[in-house]
Structure 1
Amino acid sequence: MTCVIAQRPLRVIASIADVITAIADVTTSIVDVIMTIKTDYGLVTTEYGQLQGYLRSFQRHQVAAGHALRPVNVFLGVPYATPPVGSNRFSPTRTPSPWRGVRSAMQPGRVCPQQLPPLEEADALRSMPRAVFERVLRLRGQLANQSEDCLYLNIYAPAHRGADLYPVMVYIHGDSYLWSSGNLYDGGVLASYGEVVVVAINYRLGLFGFLNTNVERGRARVTNNGLLDQIAALHWIQENVQEFGGDPDKVTLFGHGTGAACVSFLLNSPAVVTNLFHRAIVMSGSSLSGLSAVQDPAQYAVALGRRVGCPVPGDLRLDHELLVDCLREQNAERLLAADVGGYQFLPTFGPSVDGVVVQGQVRRRVRKNHGRVYDLMFGVAERDAFTLLSDEDVRGGVDAARRDRLLRTFVRNSYCYSNVEIFYSIINAYTNWSSPRRHAAALRDETIAALSDAAFVAPVTADAELHAPAEPVEPVGRDGDSTYFYVFSYERAAGAPSQQAGSVHGSEIPYVFGRPLVQETTGASQFRPEDITISEMVMTFWTNFAKTGDPNRPAPQPPPHLPEKERSRYRAWRLGALRPHLPTVYGYRSEVTHAQSLPGSPGGVLE
């Protein structure tokens, strides 16, 4: 079951089945995509020089049950900024230099320097489920070619040109502020199916993108260079995307996890100019979450300096540049290897208040958006916090003592005041008091529900509420002032162990990018016909929103080939009664996901 609800006005636009069974492999390596037929494509002239990409055909590898995919033009490794190397390390993003001749755009650029999670199995499984660990192992080869010269983007555009320009969807990758790459997310199927131009970008990660030595929160100083990279990419897109068939007046920014938090930061940033982008889809992340912002970034900068032998000034307020200058001279590998400590659940290097890109007191400023107006869609998965548990927690469940340790740690690291009261409120709200025996699996599920609501559902819904217009907008879906909310909880048909039941963090990504529509080249496909239908629906909702600001139009839902008895589960409904039930601090999941909890909701929509 997945519902998308507009906030003021509120309405469900989809019920996408029930629950997902496992963490899907949410990425497709561009380097290893062998479902591609490459042919030379005509040159594209940008503001900085000529590019030559290639034409990709899906004919040989498309599944028979899926929608016919038309070819796309692909341009990989396109530079959007001057390489941040040498004296440019830790500096704001600079525009790229023009090049002479024709630049090949047939291979992706190198990924930014990054710190992968532990790759030793025993250590890794103490902090993540096995499914997450195995995904990291699969991706490490694709993330091995690292360089500080990494500010590149990849473009996927429909090969056929219509009378009008295509909407543009710009993906900000998530996974972590410390690792990942836009190269992992292939936008070809989404571009072909939805007839949109898809752009995936790389941006500086970890200490290279978010080093902040500022100890004065009230003093403005640019430090969020990773966010500035994203802004620079959006400026490049505004200047050049029309040459690829994209409409610079219809740019939708979308991201997942930490990428969604970046989108949320950009929505509220005074550094973003009007009309740089026009819509946004925020998937399982928010700048309001404690998982998204570094509260005391200078402590990690100081720890880093001490680890690599840089002298730390006695007065960091006056002499912080001395520390930055020393770190600028250090070897990148040495910096990445330094252990700066940290706290469970919280980032070490990530966005933080710098007074320029990220300002404090976001809640007070967000409604005005600095004069900008956006169409917005926010959403979560059913069990986003699944990936925060250890493998032992996931497989064997937790006892009451382990549950208390997890929740106490989260509360202590996330809140400054009333920690005891908050902790006991969580225990009271997420304990099934009607059950006389507390089984380990039940305690695990209650812990996941509590952490999911606290770290994802509450901040994401608060973000949606803060951005939603004060009064209902009619007609709904007009450009510039509609806000939607979705819950993704689809269960893949293939089946999986019961401890992984429920849609987890990242479950929707394969469906957003259309992976079920193309056959794997080795072995049987991991997707079933039901997955193909769900992916087509998700891509339709997402690209509808990019085109009109309304996930329901122009393409109608549900797909006409669905059985009649299933069609009522995928219709658009207006559920004004849902808004009072959205959680503001710690929400009860039954009130968010079950229709019987909502007075006046139509039968058959949610299960």
Structure 2
Amino acid sequence: MLKRTAHMVVTLGLTAATVAATGSVAAAAEHGDNSVVRTDKGAVRGTATGPVRAFRGIPYAAAPTGDRRWTPPAPAARWSGVRDATRPGSACPQTGSVRPAGPRSSNEDCLYLNVTTPRTPAAEPRAVMVYLHGGDHTDGSGAMHGAQQLAARGDVIVVTVNYRLSALGYLAHPALEARGESGNYGFLDQQAALRWVRRNAAAFGGDPDNVTLFGQSAGAHSTCAHMVAPSSAGLFDRVVLQSGACLGGSDTRERANALKQGVKAARKIDERIKAAEERDDWRSAGPEHLVYGFGQSPYPYGPVYGGTLLPRTPQEAFATGQYNKVPVLQGINRHEGRAGAYAAEMGKKGATGDPEAVLDQADYRARLEQEFGPRKAVAIAARYPVGAYDGSPALALGAVLTDADQARRTVDTGRTLARGVRTYTYEFADHETPWYADAATYPKPSFPMGATHTFELPYLFELTEFDPLTEPQQALSDAMIRIWSNFARTGKAPWKPTTTASPNAQSLASGPDGVHPVDFAKDHQYDFWKSLD
């Protein structure tokens, strides 16, 4: 009976220690106010609205300011009384150039997280889902992703996290090596947030022994790094990778090369600082001079492999079995590469000054040669003729970029992981997806975007940057939330696991197509791309 009573207290968002406490927290419990929760650093008051409770702007580490810039995260300070948790903390310094857009910020006091929980008590502790946002490791914030639907309809607890970005989070440089493994401060922030979740999940009604780490794009690449980091062992129990397969690609940074690139990046940073502040001290300059937006950074940012923190790349770790073995749900969007075609078309409009400009055959061929070299470009153009894509060079380019990168990596990752852990593969394939609400800033292209990069996010989160879902899209959203949340609870998806022979992928679409099996490797011409090696 005592165990049952204690558990009921936890599901109300109040720990046993809180019940014994005096003051405002105890008074809140007495009046049935479950918008107050005591964390390990102090009490927080969130909001209880509709079916969820939301706690925003909870510090999980000390502000990485002053002497703490470019150091591992330090513990957050304790506070007295009840801390207001009704507004998100500041986003980490960024330009705000990635869609869905993170807010422009120059505030380094940014290591905050947000917790969204169902409002009603549960018979058992709920599964916890910790989300790492995308944004090329240069933009984004946890608060961008409203988690009300995922928490309420999925009956899970959702935690969204800020972490240091751009040079402040991922600059590798010899001068910083003595302060910890440089290039990985954003990754260390994520570890600190996961440790916070382990310590505090029960206070919010969650199960600290059932934590799913999931992320999209850069967040998925970070999640891959946690799978191979020895010090991340035990911090999560399942993994979801959205548009960020672990193997292949050019975004795995190894330490020796990252340090060389970091020296070059520091020189560029010096130039910016000297022009703005007439000095060249990049270690104490304003953070606005240290951050770059998507496509602007001196080199790709992200976790750095090599050293004690990340001693092995995912390729090395998976090949040797030296990784954190947990169930995996991984997948991509069917038309990922149309985002690249969109950028190319918008770039042509800007370069020519012609708002009606579209990609033509010459643009398509030039891009193939740029990406793959003249010899391979001939074979790719023959395999992906424009005539097979409604005569649209942009759609042909989108298919090439999807299949060459994301789809191939997803097959390789699934086959490799299937040797050691239960793995499921999906493809988000809705052909009619919401467009950006600000169509004046982000005009629609001459071709359908379909299920391009990031366009699955409105189906899982509330994102004001997108138009509302239609009724069929909302039905798909419900299905995806069921899949994601059930996987968080059980480590299983409602279709066959991936094997070394087949992805056994499931297509996720609205309308008459619905959720159904798909021949993922064939549809994305996997064997052709392997033949080009």
TM band (smaller chain): 0.7 to 0.9
Structure 2 counterpart of 1:210: 170
Letter in 2 for 1:570: V
Letter in 2 for 1:176: D
Structure 2 counterpart of 1:491: 431
**1:43 partnered with 2:36:** yes
Take 2:528 and 2:137, find their aligned partners in 1: how far apart are those partners? 25
1:304-343 paired onto structure 2 within 5 Å: 304-309=265-270, 326-336=281-291
Take 2:162 and 2:433, find their aligned partners in 1: how far apart are those partners? 33
The 3-state SS of whatever aligns with 1:116 is coil
Take 1:339 and 1:156, find their aligned partners in 2: how far apart are those partners? 29
Take 2:149 and 2:391, find their aligned partners in 1: how far apart are those partners? 38
**1:184 partnered with 2:132:** no
Q: State the Cα deviation string for residues 291-333 of structure 1 (Å, max 9, x = none).
A: 53346433443234334548xxxxxxxxxxxxxx943222212
Q: Are 2:227 and 2:325, in contact at CA under 8 Å, matched by a contact in 1?
A: no
Letter in 1 for 2:362: A
Structure 2 counterpart of 1:29: none
> With CA pairs under 8 Å and 6+ residues apart, which has the higher RCO, 1 or 2?
1
Q: State the Cα deviation string for residues 215-268 of structure 1 (Å, max 9, x = none).
A: 9x9xx9443111111111111100111100111111111111111111112112
Q: State the Cα deviation string for residues 367-410 of structure 1 (Å, max 9, x = none).
A: 55535321101111111122223234697543333223323333
Structure 1 counterpart of 2:184: 224
Structure 2 counterpart of 1:285: 244
Q: Is 377-386 or 147-156 further displaced after alignment?
A: 377-386
Q: State the Cα deviation string for residues 490-527 of structure 1 (Å, max 9, x = none).
A: 13388987602421111111111267xxxx9xxx9733
**1:154 partnered with 2:106:** no
Q: Is 163-172 or 43-52 further displaced after alignment?
A: 43-52
Change in CA separation of 1:335 and 1:397 when aligned onto 2, cut-off 3 Å: same
Take 1:304 and 1:205, find their aligned partners in 2: how far apart are those partners? 14
Structure 2 counterpart of 1:429: 383
Take 2:460 and 2:292, find their aligned partners in 1: how far apart are those partners? 35
TM-score normalised by length of structure 2: 0.76
Take 2:163 and 2:528, find their aligned partners in 1: how far apart are those partners? 33
Change in CA separation of 1:447 and 1:42 when aligned onto 2, cut-off 3 Å: closer
Take 1:207 and 1:201, find their aligned partners in 2: how far apart are those partners? 18
**1:243 partnered with 2:226:** no
**1:507 partnered with 2:507:** no
Structure 2 counterpart of 1:442: 392
Change in CA separation of 1:175 and 1:333 when aligned onto 2, cut-off 3 Å: closer
Take 1:190 and 1:503, find their aligned partners in 2: how far apart are those partners? 20
Structure 2 counterpart of 1:391: 345
**1:538 partnered with 2:484:** no
**1:96 partnered with 2:96:** no
Identify, as 1 or 2, the structure richer in helix: 2
Take 1:425 and 1:174, find their aligned partners in 2: how far apart are those partners? 33
Change in CA separation of 1:95 and 1:583 when aligned onto 2, cut-off 3 Å: farther
Letter in 2 for 1:350: G
How many pairs align? 457
Structure 1 counterpart of 2:362: 401
Deviation at 1:339, TM superposition (A): 12
Structure 2 counterpart of 1:358: 310
Take 2:150 and 2:296, find their aligned partners in 1: how far apart are those partners? 39
Q: Are 2:170 and 2:182, in contact at CA under 8 Å, matched by a contact in 1?
A: no
**1:276 partnered with 2:269:** no
Letter in 2 for 1:467: L
Structure 1 counterpart of 2:131: 171
Deviation at 1:442, TM superposition (A): 2.7
Take 2:131 and 2:197, find their aligned partners in 1: how far apart are those partners? 12
1:35-74 paired onto structure 2 within 5 Å: 41-57=34-50, 71-74=51-54
Change in CA separation of 1:356 and 1:440 when aligned onto 2, cut-off 3 Å: farther
Q: Are 1:110 and 1:146, in contact at CA under 8 Å, matched by a contact in 2?
A: no
Take 2:427 and 2:410, find their aligned partners in 1: how far apart are those partners? 11
Q: Are 2:228 and 2:313, in contact at CA under 8 Å, matched by a contact in 1?
A: no
The 3-state SS of whatever aligns with 1:547 is helix
Take 2:218 and 2:183, find their aligned partners in 1: how far apart are those partners? 17
Q: Are 2:245 and 2:330, in contact at CA under 8 Å, matched by a contact in 1?
A: no
Q: Are 1:461 and 1:583, in contact at CA under 8 Å, matched by a contact in 2?
A: no
Change in CA separation of 1:147 and 1:458 when aligned onto 2, cut-off 3 Å: same
Q: Are 1:307 and 1:338, in contact at CA under 8 Å, matched by a contact in 2?
A: no
- Where does structure 2 lack aligned partners over 5 or more consecutive residues? 1-31, 272-279, 350-355, 436-443, 496-505
Take 1:309 and 1:547, find their aligned partners in 2: how far apart are those partners? 48
Q: Are 2:43 and 2:83, in contact at CA under 8 Å, matched by a contact in 1?
A: yes
Deviation at 1:583, TM superposition (A): 5.8
Deviation at 1:148, TM superposition (A): 0.7
Take 1:407 and 1:214, find their aligned partners in 2: how far apart are those partners? 37
RMSD of the TM alignment (CA)? 3.7
Q: Are 2:110 and 2:163, in contact at CA under 8 Å, matched by a contact in 1?
A: yes
Q: Are 2:171 and 2:262, in contact at CA under 8 Å, matched by a contact in 1?
A: yes
Q: Are 2:64 and 2:71, in contact at CA under 8 Å, matched by a contact in 1?
A: yes
**1:108 partnered with 2:88:** yes
Letter in 1 for 2:476: I
The 3-state SS of whatever aligns with 2:225 is helix
Letter in 1 for 2:286: N
Change in CA separation of 1:179 and 1:91 when aligned onto 2, cut-off 3 Å: same
Q: Are 2:258 and 2:304, in contact at CA under 8 Å, matched by a contact in 1?
A: yes
Q: Are 1:398 and 1:440, in contact at CA under 8 Å, matched by a contact in 2?
A: no
Structure 1 counterpart of 2:353: none
Take 1:552 and 1:363, find their aligned partners in 2: how far apart are those partners? 28
Take 2:135 and 2:170, find their aligned partners in 1: how far apart are those partners? 16
Match of 2:492 among 550, 563, 574: 550
Take 1:440 and 1:570, find their aligned partners in 2: how far apart are those partners? 26
TM-score normalised by length of structure 1: 0.67
Letter in 2 for 1:302: V
Take 2:434 and 2:243, find their aligned partners in 1: how far apart are those partners? 24
Q: State the Cα deviation string for residues 171-228 of structure 1 (Å, max 9, x = none).
A: 100022111111100111110111000000000000000000259x9xx944311111
Q: Are 1:458 and 1:586, in contact at CA under 8 Å, matched by a contact in 2?
A: no
Change in CA separation of 1:351 and 1:371 when aligned onto 2, cut-off 3 Å: closer
Change in CA separation of 1:387 and 1:41 when aligned onto 2, cut-off 3 Å: same
The 3-state SS of whatever aligns with 1:380 is strand
Deviation at 1:338, TM superposition (A): 11
Take 2:72 and 2:260, find their aligned partners in 1: how far apart are those partners? 22
Q: Are 2:95 and 2:104, in contact at CA under 8 Å, matched by a contact in 1?
A: no
Change in CA separation of 1:546 and 1:294 when aligned onto 2, cut-off 3 Å: same
Q: Are 2:94 and 2:166, in contact at CA under 8 Å, matched by a contact in 1?
A: yes
Letter in 1 for 2:290: L
Change in CA separation of 1:505 and 1:547 when aligned onto 2, cut-off 3 Å: same
Take 2:66 and 2:55, find their aligned partners in 1: how far apart are those partners? 27
Letter in 1 for 2:42: G
